[in-house]
Each structure stands twice: as C-alpha cells, then as structure tokens.
Structure 1
C-alpha cells in the first residue's frame, strides 16, 4: 500500500522535490530495486490477450519475462541494478495483509459473476486484482537474476527499508519502487516508474527527500508522523482526516501526541489500540541488514547455462530431443530465447512436439552438478610399466606375442624417462614474429625464382 495520498500531496505542496527524468540519465548509477513491487508490476502488465503468460504446463511466466527484459534494458542504459527481496513482514503489518486477503475474496466473487455474465472487461479487471506474488515467483526471479549476473539481497524484513539503508550508506544512488514509504524509511532519493515498460513512455519520477522535507516544512520524524496520519501499512488512520488536513495538523502541532491532544476525538476518533508509536519506531529503526556487511557484485551472465541448454536441445544421453529442430534451428532458438523454458513457450509445440515427460531440467542439472569425485582427493601418479605383469596378462590365454609385448614395455619405459626432461616451450618464449634477416633472404630467393621463370627460354607464350 505505501503511504496513502503522499505522492499527490508532495506534487501539490512541494513540486520542486520531484524531477521527471529519462532512464538514460542514470547511466553509471547503482540502484536498489524493490523486487516484490517489480514482480507485481510484471504479473499485471506482461500479458497476452489479457491473460498472464504461461509455460506449456500452465505455470505463470510473466514475472520472468518482465524481469529478464526490463533488467536488460536497465543494464543497456548503463545502470547497475540490485534487486532486494522482502523477508518476513513485521507483525504490525498483519492487519494490512488480512485486508488484502479480504479484498481478494471479494474480487473472486466479482470475477465469478463477470465470468457468468461473459463481461470480458470486468473479467480482466478482477483477474488483475487477484494477482499475487508467490514464493515460487520470488524464487524463480532470484534464480534468473543470479544467472544474469545481477546482485540479489534478501532483506530480513521490508525491502523498501533495506533499499533505503543502502542509499543512506552510500552503497547505491537511489531506491526504485512505487511505494512512497521508501521516503518514510529515509531514502535520500526515490525513483518511481523505473521498471515500467518503454512502450508506456512514462518518465521516471525522481523524489529527493531533502527537498520534500524542505517543501513540507517538516523534520524527518515529523514527516514520519505525517505518513502515519495519512495511512501506512502498520496501523490504521483517523477517519475524516485527509491529506490536506493531515499536513495542517502536523505543521501546527509537530507530533501525533500533540495532534491527539488538540483534535476533537469525538468527531475524529482514532482507531482502537492505535499503536502509532510502534509504527513510528518501525520507520525510524527498521530491521535491516547492515549495509557494511553487504558486498554488491555484478558478474557476467551464465553463458555456460545457455550452452548446456543448447546441447540438450541438440540431443544428449539423458533425454530425447525435439524432432524437427536441427543444429541450425537449435542455436537460433537458444540465442533468441536464452533458455529451454522460453524456447518451449515460444515454439509451435504442435509442429515441434517435445518428447513425453521431457525431463530437460534434470538433464541440465546432471550437466551442471554431475556426480564426480572431488579432484582435490585425486592424486595423479605415472609409474614404470610392469613388464612381467604385462606378459602374464597379455600372453598365454590372450595369445599376444611375448617378444612384441616386451618390446612395447621397453618403449613405454624409454618414453617415460624422456618425458621427465620437460617441454622446450617451458624454458623459452616462442615468438611468432619472423627473423628479419631470414625473411629478407627468403624474399630475395623468391624474387630470383620469379625472374628466372619470366626470362627463361622455351616455347611458352610471350609475357605481355
């Protein structure tokens, strides 16, 4: 939910605190992105004919499509993104989560009515209201981002709070989320619409906390009290007090304690057991990982993983291949879609049906994590050949010629003693540059040969 009405209030009272920017303006910037908010956007926005994208087995893939291509867009614009995932929500958020569950139940009922009535517009509307980011969505996105070489951070609690901590510590330039409570947590710079589709042509909104506080005429603690009064995720708000009245009250009384002492609580009754003090503490002292303990590392994308998927598509020992897709088509598909999952989502499976129960994921795992002895435990040792043992093993029943076997053993012994001398290129640097003197002599010889050919007798044709 974030903070109700805060973005409009800032736009009305402190418009100078908001800048409209293009994505290219953040070239070279490190930005912490609220992963939950991005995935939620992708599940709603990345659709085909009004429905979420799904795999061949019906699993949702909109979140992966959005994460993959929007992240590529950020990186192509010179941005270094860091995705921050939510941890366990604070206990005080439970009432808000319960409200969301109730709204989903209502949406399900309305969806059923719209489906029975055949109202396509309402079906799409209520389907979007039922969107929920699941643990599976989070785990798949984490896996994808790691394969792409993008840093992932697991926040102990709220992702927005962790993003803000990274900004305040100077680890990143800004927090990117649609939730305005990133400002309440103290992020110096908030970016909204950063991960929106390019097709929407929405400028990035850049909020600067210092300018927000200056424009509203508040200190950070007073700003937190304003956000609680407006309505936040941790406690209810006072019915009848909207954004305009809220800023007036905080400016006049400077704290929620003083506001409660001076308003008519019979006209504006606060919620029962309104624990605004604990909510304030959650904003002032959020549960975050110390940014000093976080190392941000961007690595190269996992090309090996793509190569393995190509090999499986070509055909390997562990599972069948797709009939009709040869080597040329296979490399085109992997280059375009970057994984077997995406290949299967995008090819015509009626024309190119995959094998029944095609367990390419297990095959991939066998290539990535094969069952092998740890090389550290292996000692490589070459010993002298056992001439008598060879004769005993090969001669007799196997009827090898004894003399040839003994000669072979002696050759092994000789070759073995010779290898101990080492390679010459271990002692000398081999240069590929030709010796200038030798090259001049060879050029002279070649020139003389050409002249002899041209000026020589015989019945050949005259040179032109």
Structure 2
C-alpha cells in the first residue's frame, strides 16, 4: 500500500522534490529494486493475447521469468546496474494489512469464477489480475535466474523497501526503486518510480528526492515519519476524518502524533483507533530490521549463458535463440555499465527534469499496491 496520498502531497507542497527523467539518464547508476513489487508487475503485465498469464507446456507460470529476464537486460543496456531486494518475513504489525489483501483476493477469485460462467473473456482477465499472488516459488525461480545472469540480489530480513533504503543511505546504490512511497519514509535519499514498467508504456522515471521534500514541506525526518503514519501506512489504522491535508497541517502545527492527539477537536478524539500503536509503527520506520549496508557486498558478474539456457529453455520452455541473444546483450552491456559514471554524458543528453505536478496517484501503481503479496 505504501503511504496514502503522499505523492500528491509532495507534488503540491514540495514540487521541486519530484522530477521526471528519461531512462537513459541513469547511465552508470546502481539501483536497489524492490523485487516483490516488480515481480508482481511482471505477473500483471506479461500476458498472452487472451489476457491469461504466460505458461509453459507443463502449465507452469512463466510471466515473472520473462519479465525479469528482459526488463533486467533493458536496464543493463541503458547502463543501469540493478540489484534486486527480496522480502523476508513481514513484521507482525503488518498482519492486519495482509489480511485485508487476502480478503480482496478471495473476493476477486469469486468474481472471476462468476465471470467464467456468465462473463466475457475481458471480465475473466480483469478479475484474474486481481487474484495474482507472488509465491515463494516465483521468488526462488527469479533468484535462480538472477544468479545465472550475474545480477546480485539481497534477501532482506523483513521489508524489501527498508533494505533498499538502507543500501541507498549507505551509498551502496544511487537510489531505491519501488512503487511504494514508504521507501522514502524508511529514509531512502532518492526513490525511483516506474523504473521496471514496460517500455511500451513510454513512462518517464519519477525521481523523488527526500531532502528536497523535507525542505519544501518544512519538516524534519521525525515529523515526516509521523505525518506518513497519520496519512496511512501498512502498520496501523488512521484517524477517521483526518485526511492527508489535515494530517499535514496538524503535524506542521503540533510536530508529533502525541501532540496532535492532545489537541484534537473533541469530535475527532473519538475516532482515534483503540490501542493505537503508532509509536510501534514509528519504531519500524526509524529502526527497521535490515542488513547493515556496510556489510552488503554487491558484485555484477559475467552471465553463465549455459546455465541461463538450461533453466530458461530446457526447464521452462523459452525460445533458445531469443534467450541466447538476450544473454549476449547482457554480457556486452554489463561491461559497459561497469565503466565509471561520465558526468559529461548528461551535458550531451539533457534530461527532462522539470518538477512534475499531478493530481492523483498513478493508476497502475495503485493496482500494484493493492494486489501485492507481502507487501
């Protein structure tokens, strides 16, 4: 889910914090990618003509593997060095949000079954997308593929976004890449959105700068975290009747959630969730369970083409010629991506880095947030 309405609030209160760049602007950059989020995107976007997920002759789902293989190659072709971060065990405080997601999937499954009986092919495909779930097997298969491709990955103790943010804070990568805005709440200096979207959608990369957001909103980091909790995160409920704009005004005036509660109008005090564990949510953002960035060693290696072919062609049924061509591109461009970042590259290729104004959250991003497994 991320943080409800945060992109819109930042775009209004600190427009200079959000800029849009072309894909090629990140040549030479290392980026930590929220793996579960992008795998979910692949499961949604990589489809057959009838709208169903890709499968091999044995009926095994392969959409995630096709997406991971070709999107990774696209990044490397553009000089980006990706590292994927996989979720660990979700925090106990996330159980409520996960239960809601499970209920939504069950409802979508029932509607899909009804559509199978009386609906159109389009109805079935629409509801099927809402039932998509990233499984442990999908994650393990993607890890195996990445290993053969020579692309590093990290297994986070808990939240992938928190680990991505830690790698960025430690200087191991330039930015974290996720559709979930709580990556910024975890303290990532730079967040990239839409990085793993399909090239056909022709979407620019949104780059969100945390320092610029704090400066524009005139908040410090503790106040920003409290604001995000009040706006709506994965860990606790919000105060009914207090939307993003009101939460922002209250934090600006009173600085902390404790002070906000103390000064709430009587009609809103009754809406404060019973046994509201906002302080525990705050602790999860301030001190998340992550591997220290200084202890994480990231290495991009030459792909093992034979191992890729064994897995993708012999085991999963992909076309050998296409897989080998993809591996050749990967091998060639990994060497290019290993060059030092060239500052004059940007002089020769100016970015479209204008502050981006928007009204509502990106629809595709919302869809990804609703259906995602862990997250």
Aligned pair count reads: 321
- Partners of 2:145 and 2:308 within 8 A in 1: no
Match for residue 119 of structure 1? 120
Offset of residue 265 of structure 1: 4.9
The whole-number CA distance in structure 2 between the counterparts of 1:338 and 1:139 is: 22
The whole-number CA distance in structure 2 between the counterparts of 1:177 and 1:17 is: 16
Distance 1:335 1:278, change over 3 A: same
Structure 2 matches for 1:214-253, cutoff 5 A? Answer: 214-253=215-254
User: Can you give the 5+ residue segments of structure 2 that lack an aligned partner in the other structure?
Assistant: 326-375
The whole-number CA distance in structure 2 between the counterparts of 1:259 and 1:93 is: 24
Offset of residue 305 of structure 1: 2.1
The whole-number CA distance in structure 2 between the counterparts of 1:96 and 1:177 is: 19
The whole-number CA distance in structure 2 between the counterparts of 1:83 and 1:128 is: 23
Match for residue 281 of structure 1? 283
The whole-number CA distance in structure 2 between the counterparts of 1:130 and 1:170 is: 37
The whole-number CA distance in structure 2 between the counterparts of 1:89 and 1:204 is: 28
| More relative contact order, 1 or 2 (CA 8 Å, 6+ apart) | 2
The whole-number CA distance in structure 2 between the counterparts of 1:259 and 1:182 is: 24
The whole-number CA distance in structure 1 between the counterparts of 2:302 and 2:57 is: 29
Q: Deviations over 1:411-438 (max 9, x none)?
A: xxxxxxxxxxxxxxxxxxxxxxxxxxxx
Query: What is the TM-score of this pair, normalised by structure 1?
Result: 0.67
Q: CA RMSD in A?
A: 2.0
Answer with 170-179 or 232-241: which moved more. 232-241
- Partners of 2:305 and 2:324 within 8 A in 1: no
SS in 1 for 2:241: coil
- Partners of 1:175 and 1:191 within 8 A in 2: yes
- Partners of 2:105 and 2:130 within 8 A in 1: yes
Offset of residue 48 of structure 1: 1.1
Offset of residue 266 of structure 1: 3.6
- Partners of 1:306 and 1:334 within 8 A in 2: no
Structure 2 matches for 1:79-228, cutoff 5 A? Answer: 79-228=80-229
Q: Deviations over 1:166-224 (max 9, x none)?
A: 11111100000000000000000000000111100010000000011111111001000
The whole-number CA distance in structure 1 between the counterparts of 2:246 and 2:180 is: 22
- Partners of 2:185 and 2:225 within 8 A in 1: yes
1:305 to 304, 307, 320: 307
- Partners of 2:20 and 2:207 within 8 A in 1: yes
The whole-number CA distance in structure 1 between the counterparts of 2:136 and 2:44 is: 17
Match for residue 374 of structure 1? none
Structure 2 matches for 1:27-42, cutoff 5 A? Answer: 27-42=27-42
Match for residue 3 of structure 1? 3
Distance 1:294 1:228, change over 3 A: same
Offset of residue 119 of structure 1: 3.0
The whole-number CA distance in structure 2 between the counterparts of 1:309 and 1:167 is: 32
Offset of residue 114 of structure 1: 2.2
Q: Deviations over 1:211-245 (max 9, x none)?
A: 11111111001000010001001111111111111
The whole-number CA distance in structure 2 between the counterparts of 1:62 and 1:33 is: 18
Query: What is the TM-score of this pair, normalised by structure 2?
Result: 0.82
The whole-number CA distance in structure 2 between the counterparts of 1:121 and 1:257 is: 49
Offset of residue 113 of structure 1: 2.4
Distance 1:117 1:261, change over 3 A: same
Q: Deviations over 1:334-367 (max 9, x none)?
A: 232349xxxxxxxxxxxxxxxxxxxxxxxxxxxx
- Partners of 1:9 and 1:243 within 8 A in 2: yes
The whole-number CA distance in structure 2 between the counterparts of 1:267 and 1:248 is: 15
Residue 54 (1) aligns with residue 55 (2): yes
The whole-number CA distance in structure 1 between the counterparts of 2:28 and 2:80 is: 5
Offset of residue 164 of structure 1: 0.5
SS in 1 for 2:83: strand
The whole-number CA distance in structure 2 between the counterparts of 1:2 and 1:275 is: 18
Point out the structure with max Rg over C-alpha.
1
Distance 1:306 1:177, change over 3 A: closer
Match for residue 271 of structure 1? 273
The whole-number CA distance in structure 2 between the counterparts of 1:125 and 1:213 is: 39
- Partners of 1:2 and 1:179 within 8 A in 2: yes
Residue 335 (1) aligns with residue 321 (2): yes
SS in 2 for 1:48: coil
- Partners of 2:145 and 2:311 within 8 A in 1: no
